[in-house]
Amino acid sequence: MTAPKDKGNIKKNPHVTLKMVAERVGLTKGTCSAVLNKTAASRSVPAHTQERIFKVARDLNYRPSFYARNLGVKRTYMIGVVTQEIGDFYSSPIIGGIELYLRQKNFFFLTVAHRHDPTLLETYSRLLLDRGVEGFITVDTFIDRPLPLPAIAIPGHSRVEGVTNIVLDHRKGAWLALNHLVQLGHKEIAFMKGAAISPDSQDRWTGIREVAKELGICMRPQLVVQLKGDDATPQLGYPFAKELLNRKRPFTALFAYNDISAIGSIRAFQDAGLRVPEDISVVGFDDIKIAVHNNPSLTTVRQPLAKMGEIAARTLLKRIEQHEDWIPEISIEPEFAVRNSSAKAQSLSSIARKLERAC
């Protein structure tokens, strides 16, 4: 296969150097380097001169050496992203939002997954520092002490000096979900509390309890179950939904801790011969990508996960590049997606009879 001939006036060379760009523009290498790398020194260069430098660099197909750039400005343009698992339904869209923003700003990122292993987390954190990252973004990871670099935590709940917490308004999320169920006539509602390893668990549970009291919902101990483990698949909710059924306490709706536990619960109910939403309504939390494709599609509290990643990346770069002051917390508003897994409440007696047959 033959490459097409260049129709322009300048022959593109894969080995173009900064010196060649500087000679064609008629300026020093230092000036061209400052403009092309967008350093603070470039602010003194007139806009029309900067545009001329960029045009020549584009025409010559100049690609600055990453390592040379680092030597010149003592920068790595790298961010460390620390998450509990890569590719799960929660972390994946957040990291996607981070990647999209960093790519636009010519930053790289290195990602490590600790799987809730504190030793691994400590080891990976040191490795990222050794590789010269300029800041951290943590996803679904507890931070309990200050870090040596600017950091953003998604979600973050402990106030730590130098760490900006991206926090969803869990109380509003709880209100959106529970008010929806109350409006549909549900009074006997079961709840799934998050596993202790989840950073959101306690704040979300506090919000749920406050809203339930406000709406007059009785949270019966027999209808509350706490998730355990770190399974990032719908299997997480399946055994705990079965446990709720085995308690023989009738309920007409379930407010699950997150979407994957909600989807697992729907499967457990269906396997027991119960219909969703005709017998039991189910509401999730997160609005992960598969929520809309589940059968039935899932009614859920929506976290703007990709947007949260983008906000985290933007906030971190402002601290690194523009030296903006540390912001302890950024609050994110949830939304609510009403789909096919919720409907008007059925009579409790009919559910009780079906539970007897199911168990």
pTM listed for this prediction: 0.78
User: Is 127 within 8 Å of 112 (Cβ atoms)?
Assistant: yes
pLDDT average, residue stretch 147-166: 93
Minimum mean pLDDT among 27-41, 66-80, 337-351: which range? 66-80
Q: Which CATH architecture has domain 18-73?
A: Orthogonal Bundle (1.10)
Average pLDDT, the chain: 90
pLDDT the model gives residue 249: 94
pLDDT average, residue stretch 151-180: 96
pLDDT tens-digit profile of 299-313?
999 999 999 999 999
pLDDT the model gives residue 17: 86
Asked whether the predicted pLDDT for residue 162 surpasses 70, the reply is: yes
pLDDT average, residue stretch 115-130: 88
Minimum mean pLDDT among 87-91, 285-289, 330-334: which range? 87-91
Q: Taking the mean position of all CA atoms in its chain, how far away is CA 130?
A: 25
pLDDT tens-digit profile of 13-61?
457 888 899 999 999 988 888 888 777 678 889 999 999 999 999 899 8
Spatial separation of the C-alpha atoms in residues 151 and 148, rounded to whole Å: 9
Asked whether the predicted pLDDT for residue 327 surpasses 80, the reply is: yes
User: CATH class for domain 170-302+337-358?
Assistant: alpha beta
pLDDT class of 141 with cuts at 50, 70, 90? very high
pLDDT class of 70 with cuts at 50, 70, 90? low
pLDDT tens-digit profile of 250-286?
999 999 999 999 999 999 999 999 999 999 999 999 9
Residues of the chain with pLDDT > 90, as a percent, come to 68
pLDDT the model gives residue 76: 87
Q: 3-state SS string over 23-83?
A: HHHCCCHHHHHHHHCCCHHHHHCCHHHHHHHHHHHHHHCCCCCHHHHHHHHCCCCEEEEEE
Higher pLDDT, 264 or 118: 264
pLDDT the model gives residue 14: 53
Asked whether the predicted pLDDT for residue 1 surpasses 80, the reply is: no
CATH no. for 78-168+305-333: 3.40.50.2300
pLDDT the model gives residue 86: 87
Minimum mean pLDDT among 165-174, 225-234, 306-315, 338-347: which range? 225-234
Q: CATH topology of 18-73 equal to that of 170-302+337-358?
A: no
Asked whether the predicted pLDDT for residue 143 surpasses 50, the reply is: yes
Please return the burial class of 202, using the count of CB atoms within 10 Å of its CB with bins 0-12, 13-18 and 19+.
Answer: middle
The two structure tokens encoding residue 227? 């998730």
> What is the Cα gyration radius of the chain?
26
Closest among 289, 280, 282 to 92, alpha carbons compared: 289
Minimum mean pLDDT among 25-29, 331-335, 354-358: which range? 354-358
pLDDT the model gives residue 358: 67
Minimum mean pLDDT among 10-14, 67-71, 73-77, 202-206: which range? 10-14
pLDDT class of 179 with cuts at 50, 70, 90? very high
How is the chain split into domains, by residue range? 18-73, 78-168+305-333, 170-302+337-358
Minimum mean pLDDT among 70-84, 152-166, 277-291: which range? 70-84
Asked whether the predicted pLDDT for residue 3 surpasses 50, the reply is: no
pLDDT class of 69 with cuts at 50, 70, 90? low
Please return the burial class of 131, using the count of CB atoms within 10 Å of its CB with bins 0-12, 13-18 and 19+.
Answer: exposed
Minimum mean pLDDT among 68-72, 290-294, 342-346: which range? 68-72
Spatial separation of the C-alpha atoms in residues 150 and 164, rounded to whole Å: 8
